[in-house]
A and B are shown apart, each in its own frame.
Chain A
Amino acid sequence: MRPTTRWAILFMGPPILLFTAIVVVPTAMALRLSFTDANILGQTSQWIGFDNFVEAFTNEHVRKSIRITLVWTLFGALLPPALGLGIAMMLQANTRFAAIMKSALFVPISISLVVVGQVWIWIYQPGDGLINQMLGMVGLESLEEAWLANRSTALWAVFIAWAWQQAVLAMILYLAGLTSIPGELVEAARVDGAGQFQVFRRVIMPLLRPITTVVLSLIAINSLRNFDLVFAMTQGGPVRETETMPMLVWRILFRQHEQGLASAVSLILFAMTLVVIGGLTWWGRRGSYVD
């Protein structure tokens, strides 16, 4: 055995054992469970092949939940990064504010989603909620709404609260990226006759591509895992309108007690995460060596 191999085992052995026990083995056990009809009462654990996956893709609640998660991820990949980039560019142009603003903006991303959820409940609630009060002040009482209880607005209401926090994450990363772009590059493009939009499209965006990949990956993972905020704000309601996949897994586990089906749905979510991240990595690599 090479001496470095011995050192490698000494260094990596203990943490890898812990990782195996807590992550690898349970993932394998979840995979096994997903092919059984196990339930929390523990009466049966029969091998039922792909039945759980068939059930998952045909059950209307699961399908709806997959749809909600996909829509959330798609809009999550559009709104917070766009907002974050816009704000970052404005801040960069007003450098005096940037330092103060940056510090102030660390509050939204350092606080827990339980707290974020709490504030936004107060913003949305009927009666003395902030939005309804403001609508009342400008004489638009007719538009007042129980935003989180209404089936057609609940999902977007929770999404906006989430985007509020994620936009800051994108903004901070984009600000770091923008300050790394040499001013001469932008200047040179302008001298060559590029307009403002062209500079943005042809110079700034390509240079920001690695940052964009990071931003999109982080936000995609956060979208797909979104449990905390939904749990804190609506618990999936009203009538399952905000039931993201992690929320659905929770319900199948703790209300329906079907471990097999819950494992199958959680593994579908895992697969979706891998596909999204794989796609983003490919997109980022493809662009990173091209001007």
Chain B
Amino acid sequence: MSTSTASLAADRADSTGSTAPEHGAGRRGRTLRRRAGMVLIAVFVALYLVPVAGVLATSLKTNAEIAERGIWALTGKLTLANYLDVWSTANTVRYLINSFQVAIPAVVVSIAGGTLIGYALAKFRPRGGTAIQLVIVSGLFVPPQVLLVPLFTMFRSFDLLNTLWPMILIHSAVGFSVCTLVMRNFFEQIPDSLRYAALIDGASEGEVFWRVMLPLARPALAALATLQFTFIWNDFLYPLVFTSARDDVATIMLGLLNVKGQFTVAYGTQASLAVIASIPTVVIFFVFQKHFVRGLLSGALKE
């Protein structure tokens, strides 16, 4: 059954390392196969490390040196000059602040809203709940391009173009789809008896939700926070459409794109800005990696 497999998979994924099945093949065949496997893994690691290391190395070389010897040259002095340069350009810090000003409220609102809808669908089971769920989850499949023209007209009439509001509002609302899906699945698994017991003890529905259910949901909420933050931080379509006229409201990803356009050959500058732009999501992934897998699986598997 899909449900149990998924949660099992997610649980076991945290403790990789114990359950490699030992097959009964001959010892020599096994070591040979293991060596071949290790070579393949090494190739694979190179495939993934080289591009990442390339950006890091480029960010630490001077533009002059890159121009002379090429991007991928293994020689050269390492320097933090590009970082100091990029950081002291007033707009880099502005871009980062803008990105946080979009991502934090949008992550909070999308998860809060998705949790409320998901909980109501799973526990109050209102009439028409299935239809509501279908509409909200279908949001996952609406290409952003469908929404651009109507939203542009709408934000223009409210005079919100070239502010951060379009991104905050869009990411909040669009995020309800995945958050509702994950949270409804989560609350569906929690037995109703827990809710009834608290209600009999005199708690209101609101208190049951806040004091009993939400604390239980912490792992699911962490998973969603990781997913949503990464998604919103990395997006550049909406900033491109709604804030293209003013550089001081650009998010870091739009800033990165603009820098690329302005200094086509200043590779060192581009690379250091790319590294700065990537730090928040990479850090969050390292901290919450097991939640991320769990979030993806629970969201997509249990319907």
Interface residues of A (CB under 8 A from B): 3-5, 7-9, 11-12, 14-16, 18-19, 21-27, 29-30, 33, 87, 90-95, 97-99, 101-115, 118-120, 122-123, 127-130, 133, 164, 168, 172-173, 175-177, 179-180, 183, 186-187, 190, 196, 207, 210-211, 213-214, 217-218, 221, 224-225, 227-228, 232, 245-246, 249-250, 253, 259, 262-263, 266-267, 269-270, 273-274, 277, 281, 284, 288-289
- CB-defined contacts of A259 to chain B, threshold 8 Å: 149
Q: Contact at A27–B147, with CB atoms within 8 Å? A: yes
Q: Contact at A106–B286, with CB atoms within 8 Å? A: yes
Interface string of B221-235 (1 = CB under 8 A from A): 000000000100111
Interface string of B37-61 (1 = CB under 8 A from A): 1101100110111111011001000
Interface size on B, residues (CB 8 A): 111
- How far is it, in angstroms, between the C-alpha of A155 and the C-alpha of B170 when the chains are bound? 31
29 A-B pairs with CB atoms under 8 Å apart are A8-B129, A12-B116, A14-B113, A15-B113, A18-B176, A22-B169, A23-B142, A27-B147, A29-B150, A30-B147, A30-B150, A87-B41, A106-B292, A107-B48, A111-B234, A114-B277, A115-B278, A118-B55, A118-B274, A210-B6, A210-B301, A211-B9, A218-B300, A227-B237, A228-B237, A269-B146, A270-B142, A270-B146, A273-B143
Q: Contact at B55–A19, with CB atoms within 8 Å? A: no
- How far is it, in angstroms, between the C-alpha of A11 and the C-alpha of B112 when the chains are bound? 10
Shortest distance from the beta carbon of A196 to any chain B beta carbon, whole Å: 8
Q: Contact at A106–B289, with CB atoms within 8 Å? A: yes
Contact partner of A221 among B141, B205, B235, B271, CB < 8 A?
B141
Contact partner of A266 among B16, B145, B293, CB < 8 A?
B145
Q: Contact at A214–B20, with CB atoms within 8 Å? A: no
Given contacts A18-B172, A207-B5, is CB(A27)–CB(B142) below 8 Å?
yes
Q: Contact at B124–A122, with CB atoms within 8 Å? A: no
Is B21 in contact with chain A by the CB < 8 A criterion? yes
Q: Contact at A122–B205, with CB atoms within 8 Å? A: no
- CB-defined contacts of B297 to chain A, threshold 8 Å: 173, 176, 211, 214
Contact partner of B151 among A15, A26, A213, CB < 8 A?
A26
Interface SS, A side: helix
- CB-defined contacts of A16 to chain B, threshold 8 Å: 117, 132, 136
